[in-house]
């Protein structure tokens, strides 16, 4: 698994959650986390969370940090959701190391009582993907600018968070290769 930070801005319209997007964009042939900055306006046809669709929610932000994680090792929904929650914790840890305290509720982070992030996870029959977005600026929701993270620092989060997730997955893969099976009573 590797982390790829895009130099260019990419506008997130929801098509990027599709399986094999990273391959199509960059020829990526390993599990990956692709991180980039850009606006967010998810089109109704790309909404994965049916609650958003039912509610007619707009998922809109002018400026976000985006992370798109893709694993091809499993299509198990339980696993991609556990990984999504773990990723959310990793984002909180990265922010905490820059002095920002957040509160996690499932796959959401809150700062000063305001929702700072969005996230969704799902599978196709070939891969599992997670999208995670953090507001850089926002008029209504929590955002990095309001809590004193300037642009440079915000951009540096792309690589920092990406690397932490890659390290976590590598660490897990190593740990599970030194544990014997459970006994049974």
Among residues 58 and 89, whose Cβ is nearest to a second copy?
A: 89
Find the binder of a second copy among 126, 148, 151, 159 (CB under 8 A).
126
What is the closest distance, in whole angstroms, from the C-beta atom of residue 138 to a second copy in the complex? 23
In the structure encoding, which two tokens stand for residue 18, read together?
Answer: 């599709």
Find the binder of a second copy among 1, 6, 10, 28 (CB under 8 A).
28
What is the closest distance, in whole angstroms, from the C-beta atom of residue 151 to a second copy in the complex? 27
What is the closest distance, in whole angstroms, from the C-beta atom of residue 173 to a second copy in the complex? 8
| CA gap 146, 139 in Å, rounded | 10
* Piece of 5-13, 33-41, 123-131, 151-159 that binds a second copy (CB under 8 A): 123-131
* Piece of 12-20, 58-66, 143-151, 152-160 that binds a second copy (CB under 8 A): 12-20
Neighbours of 62 (CB within 10 A): 14
Instruction: Tell which residue, 68, 49, 69, has the closest CA to residue 59.
Output: 49
- Three-state secondary structure call for residue 118: strand
What is the closest distance, in whole angstroms, from the C-beta atom of residue 11 to a second copy in the complex? 16
Q: Which of residues 53-92 bind a second copy (CB under 8 A)?
A: 54, 72-79, 81-83, 85-86, 89, 92
| CA gap 92, 38 in Å, rounded | 20
Please report the DSSP string for 81-93 in residue order. HHHHHHHHHHHHH
- Three-state secondary structure call for residue 136: strand
């Amino acid at each position: 698994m590797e982390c790829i930070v895009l130099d260019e801005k990419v506008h997130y319209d929801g098509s990027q959650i599709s399986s094999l997007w990273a391959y199509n964009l960059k020829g990526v042939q390993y599990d990956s986390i692709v991180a980039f900055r850009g606006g967010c306006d998810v089109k109704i046809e790309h909404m994965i969370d049916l609650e958003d669709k039912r509610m007619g929610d707009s998922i809109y932000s002018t400026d976000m940090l985006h992370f798109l994680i893709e694993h091809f090792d499993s299509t198990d929904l339980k696993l991609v959701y556990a990984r999504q929650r773990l990723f959310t914790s990793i984002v909180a840890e990265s922010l905490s190391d820059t002095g920002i305290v957040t509160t996690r509720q499932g796959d959401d982070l809150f700062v000063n009582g305001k929702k700072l992030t969005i996230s969704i996870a799902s599978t196709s029959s070939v891969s599992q993907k997670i999208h995670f977005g953090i507001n850089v600026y926002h008029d209504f929701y929590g955002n990095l600018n309001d809590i004193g993270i300037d642009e440079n620092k915000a951009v540096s989060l792309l690589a920092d968070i990406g690397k932490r997730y890659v390290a976590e997955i590598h660490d897990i893969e190593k740990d599970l290769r030194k544990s014997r099976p459970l006994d049974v009573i």
